[in-house]
A and B are shown apart, each in its own frame.
Chain A
Amino acid sequence: MMDAPLLRVRNLSVTYPSDDGDFKAVRNVSFTLGRERLGIVGESGSGKSTTGRAIMGLARPPARVAADELVLGDIDLRTQSERQLRRLRGKRMAMVLQDPKYSLDPVMSVGQQIAETHRTHLNSSKAEAKAASLEMLNAVHIRDPERVYAMYPHQVSGGMGQRIMIAMMLIAGPELLIADEPTSALDVTVQSQVLSIMDELVRERGMGLILISHNLHLVSSFCDRVLVMYAGQIVEICDAGRLADAQHPYTRGLLAALPELGRRRHELPQLQRDPAWMDDIVTPLETTSVKGGA
């Protein structure tokens, strides 16, 4: 079922050095990803974004990234030069960010921004890149691609902006997409629409998806597997369908908070915490055992 994995991460750690001691934002995170949808949940500050950026090789300087294994397909990402990584970004792995209002260049037309990815990776002519971009806009269900192509980011709604972002990130055909809170900034009414478009493309293309969110409900209904992070560590990995059986008290706390869906975003209820959890590092072995029932 899980043939050659798309992404293998073993003991990924990210440290932010600072004057009063180093801060470990991500500690020994390990998981493998097939052509599936993996959710990463955890409260704000638990290291989700840092993990995503570290995989892309875009950790915020001066962060130090260390891993025993960081392999995309058959490429060891740790040994890639910056130039080689650049060829992988957008082409083999891509990333959708939280708010299209800020993640699109305000002074370049959205069409040009999509075409730019195509031209960068496929060495295409202007006309080819434009044709591909229009097709891609169509693929993210934008009705009037020609018109939208010439628009600027401030002229499109949040939902449309995020679809444009998806088009821009998928046009060169990556096999891995990391979506970091892709719907948190959107109106509730368009959240599921954007998710289903992303889902459709990821399925059609047989891609792997990492969906980062602080919303356990969203992640569990959308993903195949869920990885729960707390204070930079994975405290639990399990099948989305089996979340009810989750063992870890932190996960149970998150679950208990679920019925209150109407709450404002980013506002997780106070959860019970225990310093002892910091030692509950989940190794890949346990991962498989939790997954065993699938």
Chain B
Amino acid sequence: MARRLAAPLRRLGGVVFSVILTFLGLTAVTFVIGRFMPIDPVISIVGDKASTEVYDRVYKELGLDQPVVVQYATYLSKVVRGEFGNSVMTARPVLEDVWRVFPATMELASLALIIGVLVGVPMGVIAATNRGRVVDQIVRFMSLLGYSMPVFWLGLVGLLLFYAKLGWVEGPGRLDVAFDDMVPTITGLITIDAILAGEDEVFFNALGHLILPASILGYLSLAYIARMTRSFMLAQLEQEYILAALAKGLSPWRVVWVHALGNVWVQLITVVALTFGSLLEGAVLTETVFAWPGLGLYMKNSLFAADLNAVLGATLLIGTIYIFLNMLSDIVYTLVDPRAREPS
């Protein structure tokens, strides 16, 4: 009994250990960036017209006269307690700001990922099963395009075409001004909140705003997901169990979409988790183009305003999400792959 528990516990211990280690590394990086950025944190607060006495006082208050190790320890203990200081731009605690804007990014990246997976995986499967044929070439071309297309360019062209010219989608922002504050914030995802409040009109307006940036982000992730699915699928189709499945009389459809794809999913989990992380990153550009009030736009604005606390806080949040995604993919992995469920 004890032995059966030992292995999963050891595994869990390993995960926790690596999470802590990664987090320490992450904070060290944000700390160092904070130290060596060509932005004087004192001047950001007191302004460049302040007297030397004021400057020195604030310099001391910020602990900048302490040894670097002590400064890092202080920084770490604050970070752990969620104290990232105040944003100069909004004059509010950074954590509060980040917490407020994050759902917008989450909504955008989630829909993008759903689009990327729902379209990208079947595309990859079809490309693999039609290897070398026209469909395969088309998928490959679309993937390549997705890799090489700059987001902001796609965004601008998309807005010009689908919003300005065709009027199929709503413009920049998350919601028309007329609908602002019409639904109570529950999840922070406006589409979900609108459904919860039973406000159809708000829902469709929000979706209209969301669909274009999400499709563009989704297209970028789709390119990667489709390519990975294709190569995973090609490798699975070479396996002996595929021959066995055919030998027992299954249809090619079942062999591909049930047996081969079941094994492809195992490999895709990491890809999907990484894609989600890069979508959060990619959101910076997309949000700027679409005036999407999420973490990306917040970071860009803070960066331009030399608002160091805000930039570092947001960076740390994204890093933490990456760590969390990795952990999550580990858990999902054990759900999809029976081989990962028990100690080996």
A residues with CB within 8 A of B? 53, 56, 58, 86-91, 94-95, 97-99, 102-109, 116-117, 120-121, 152, 154-155, 165, 168-169, 172
Contacts and interface: CB of A to CB of B under 8 A. Distances in A.
A104 B241 contact: yes
Interface stretch (B37-45, B67-75, B336-344): B336-344
Given A152-B338, A154-B338, A154-B339, A105 B247 contact: no
B241 A103 contact: yes
A94 B245 CA distance: 10
Given A97-B240, A152-B338, A154-B338, A107 B262 contact: yes
Contacts of A172: 248-249
B246 A102 contact: no
Contacts of B300: none
B15 interface: no
Nearest to A57: B246
Nearest to B247: A95
Contacts of B262: 105, 107-108
A225 B243 CA distance: 27
A116 B244 contact: no
A53 B244 CA distance: 11
A117 B249 contact: yes
B140 interface: no
What DSSP secondary structure best describes chain B's contact surface? Answer: helix
15 contacts: A89-B247, A90-B247, A94-B248, A95-B247, A97-B240, A105-B245, A105-B263, A107-B262, A116-B248, A120-B249, A121-B249, A152-B338, A152-B339, A168-B248, A172-B248
B247 A169 contact: yes
B169 interface: no
B248 A89 contact: yes
B251 interface: yes
B4 to A, nearest CB: 14
Contacts of B247: 56, 58, 89-90, 94-95, 97, 169
B251 A97 contact: no
B281 to A, nearest CB: 31
Contacts of B240: 97-99, 102-103
Size range of the interface on B? 20 to 34
B62 interface: no
Contacts, number: 79
Interface in B221-258: 239-241, 243-251
A105 B338 CA distance: 11
Contacts of A108: 259, 262
Contacts of A154: 338-339
Contact of B243 (A58, A117, A121): A58
Contacts of B265: 107
A107 to B, nearest CB: 5
B248 A117 contact: yes
A107 B263 contact: yes
A7 B259 CA distance: 30
B263 A87 contact: no
A223 to B, nearest CB: 21
Contacts of B266: 107
A121 B250 CA distance: 9
Interface in B327-342: 336-339
Nearest to B251: A86
Complex A-B, nearest 5 residue pairs according to Cβ-Cβ distance, in ascending order: A90-B249, A90-B248, A152-B338, A102-B240, A89-B249
Given A117-B248, A121-B249, A172-B249, 16 more contacts: A58-B247, A86-B250, A89-B247, A94-B247, A94-B248, A95-B247, A97-B247, A99-B240, A102-B240, A104-B244, A106-B338, A107-B262, A107-B338, A116-B250, A120-B250, A154-B338
